[in-house]
Structure 1
């Protein structure tokens, strides 16, 4: 579900915010800490993904069309992490 908040639109799954616009060319994705730990070797190699202060979130810099594919993949992981 997409919700329009004071900070801008967010995407939620079962009431949990999993995707939000962080401003400029950055989107933040709530993957959960266990998912980030599993994906850590790949995320470290990806220059488009950065850690966020909250360890359950990552920031994805959107510079080019392939970044959209990365965002879709990470959003899919986030959805799976938040749906029983």
Structure 2
């Protein structure tokens, strides 16, 4: 009888690059989970992997409100059920840059 082993889905190359880059950011604390890396600032989770080529970013509802027109025009960004989070599809270089920019916004939104 073979033992069943839970494995995570392979991450796309741009998500892996994003994780590697975010690990070097001094404002972020990283935790490695079964689902992938999770990044927090001041004890609040702000970035988590949600799929092979998807990352969720907690921007906060006010930040999403300010960026709404720009986010709505971007096919790579989707609102989550929780109004504070967005999902970013990261499958090209510009998407990686967008994810890093949104992470910077998230850090600022959660800083005192």
- Provide runs of 4+ in structure 1 moved above 6 Å: none
Q: TM-score under structure 1 normalisation?
A: 0.96
What is the Cα-based RMSD across aligned positions, in Å?
Answer: 0.8
SS at match of 2:83: coil
Aligned to 2:14: none
Distance in 1, matches of 2:42 and 2:97, equals: 24
> How many residues end up aligned between the 2 structures?
84
SS at match of 2:106: helix
Decide which structure has the larger Cα Rg and report it: 2
Distance in 2, matches of 1:14 and 1:76, equals: 14
* Offset at residue 21 of structure 1 (A): 0.3
Distance in 2, matches of 1:24 and 1:5, equals: 15
SS at match of 2:91: coil
Aligned to 1:9: 37
Q: Deviations over 1:8-34 (max 9, x none)?
A: 210000100000000110000000000
Q: What are the ranges of 5 or more consecutive residues in structure 1 without an aligned counterpart?
A: none
Give the structure with the higher percent strand: 1
Q: Deviations over 1:23-82 (max 9, x none)?
A: 110000000000000000000000000001111000000110110110011000000000
* Offset at residue 4 of structure 1 (A): 1.4
Confirm whether residue 44 of structure 1 aligns to residue 72 of structure 2: yes
Distance in 2, matches of 1:22 and 1:53, equals: 14
Q: What are the ranges of 5 or more consecutive residues in structure 2 without an aligned counterpart?
A: 1-28
